[in-house]
Amino acid sequence: MYWQREIECMDRETLELLQLERLQATLNRVVRNVPLYRQRFRELGIDPYDIQRLEDIRHLPFTTKDDVRQNYPYGMFAVPLRDVVRMHTSSGFTGTPTVVGYTAGDLRRWADLAARMLTAAGVTQDDVVQMACPYDLMSGAFGLHSGAERIGASVIPSALADPRRQIRIMQDYRTTALVCTPSYALHLADTLDALAANKTSLSLRFAILGSEPWTEAMREEIEERLGVAATDHYGLSEITAVAGECLERRGLHLHEDAVLAEIIDPISGAPLPLGERGELVLTTLTKEAFPLVRYRTGDLTAIDPTPCPCGRTFRRLARIPGRSDDMIIVGGVNVFPAQVAAILAEAGLGQVRHQIVLEREEHMDQAIVLLEAPESFCTDSIKKSQRLMENVRLRLRTELSVAFAVRLVEPRSLPPGAPVVDDRRSR
Ligand SMILES: [Zn+2]
């Protein structure tokens, strides 16, 4: 049930002592070996020895994705290149590349974090694990691959197979655990339908899904159509594995012995109290080649400190609903488009096409959700459709604290590639 019980079930006091010790070691290492940190700490008059409590971390400067880009390729490495055994590079959407390096020790620890996460998700040495995700795009795939091998499971790297072949491999080799993105899992379920087959032709028990935002509604659909228990995990190539769900499926246990997590207000940068939603900031505690201090992930979540029935003591991240870059502010309230999409899906509209329009009338923000009328509205009674719309309005207002107007538009009337948010307030 546990991969490293003595770590995963560590009591809080021991854990925090371990975190502080590792934080101090990390700070000393970056000040010694990474010019960016040496210079910043000097400018701000910070000595690593001043950090005597975990809370003191809030006095340290943030590290951003731009810092990583500007120090391309090797400026952020804390070890000589001869000690680096692997590098993951990305060209990035903007074309500005980044590169992250790992020592042999980093890879060993990464595999252990992944093994921990896979064990929590139900995988054992008796499982056949099918890796149906691109290894080049998802550095996480390498971690999970090594983690599954570490457990002793049989791993099939089927990344390049097309969906029909994926299904064939699943059937022939009696795959029991599927690793891919949530949307690809649904695509495989569609392929199964197209082949006039169903889940009984498969031996799947678990799906370990991540690398993109998804909803509880998607989880239910995947679990039902593929006959699996589906768990979520989260990681970044800059950091490696960060968190993963146990089979309780109530949030992702943070690998708190490997990362120190904070939640901040994405606008002011101020730390937020435990339980509040904001931007996730991570400090690596064990990485040798590429340590990061207060790295702004741009991902929005909250930390849940309540105990988990599985017995693991590591705190849990709420499902990541969106990026802080996407955040919109309506009448002073922070809203993420992914939260709107999740509410629409959970209200029974599925992955409905929609657009959020923001306008300003007499200095007041107006928020409107344009919704392409779903097929069901043609067949359902008017009363049923009205009730659904009313429910959507109510949930948007109560869960997001914004009074969205919800307007139906003709099916296929939103142009292909239309932005999710159309902000007309500044025009
Ligand atoms: Zn748990």
Q: 297-340, pLDDT tens digit by residue?
A: 988 899 999 999 999 999 999 987 666 667 787 877 778 888 88
Residue 343 belongs to a domain with what CATH number?
3.30.300.30
> Does one domain contain both 189 and 75?
yes
> Does one domain contain both 279 and 410?
no
Q: In terms of residue numbers, what domain contains 350? A: 327-423
- Among the residue ranges 67-81, 150-164, 385-399, the one predicted with the least confidence is 385-399
Number of helices followed by number of strands (H, E) in the chain: 12, 21
Ligand 1 geometric centre to CA of 307 (Å): 8
Residues 313, 12 contacting (CB under 8 angstroms): yes
CA distance 135 to 181: 12
Between the CA atoms of 419, 420, 426 and 427, what dihedral angle is there, to the nearest 10 degrees?
40
Ligand 1 geometric centre to CA of 308 (Å): 5
> Does one domain contain both 94 and 119?
yes
Residue 192: band (very low, low, confident or very high) from pLDDT cuts 50, 70, 90:
very high
Q: What is the pLDDT of residue 315?
A: 98
> Does one domain contain both 67 and 131?
yes
Residue 264 belongs to a domain with what CATH number?
3.40.50.12780
Q: Please list all protein residues whose beta carbon sits less than 5 angstroms from ligand 1, which is an ion.
A: 246, 248, 308, 310, 312
Half-sphere exposure (Cβ direction) of 39: Cα atoms closer than 13 Å: 7
Most confident of the ranges 90-94, 156-160, 182-186: 156-160
The residue among 285, 301, 321 that closes a domain is 321
Place of tokens 């400067």: 61
Ligand 1 geometric centre to CA of 240 (Å): 20
Q: Look at residue 81 and give its three-state secondary structure.
A: helix
Structure confidence by residue, pLDDT tens digits, 367-411: 999 999 887 777 777 888 888 899 999 999 888 888 899 999 988
Ligand 1 geometric centre to CA of 17 (Å): 22
> Does one domain contain both 314 and 348?
no
Please name the amino acid found at residue 86: R
> Does one domain contain both 343 and 295?
no
Q: For the chain, how many structural domains are there in total?
A: 2
Residue 19: band (very low, low, confident or very high) from pLDDT cuts 50, 70, 90:
very high
The residue among 290, 321, 352 that closes a domain is 321
Ligand 1 geometric centre to CA of 256 (Å): 13
The model carries a pTM of 0.80
The residue among 291, 321, 351 that closes a domain is 321
Question: How wide is the angle at C-alpha 340 spanned by C-alphas 334 and 341, nearest 5°?
Answer: 140
Ligand 1 geometric centre to CA of 8 (Å): 10
Q: How remote is the C-alpha of 163 from its chain's centroid?
A: 24
Residues 110, 100 contacting (CB under 8 angstroms): no
> Does one domain contain both 359 and 234?
no
> Does one domain contain both 313 and 342?
no
Ligand 1 geometric centre to CA of 22 (Å): 24
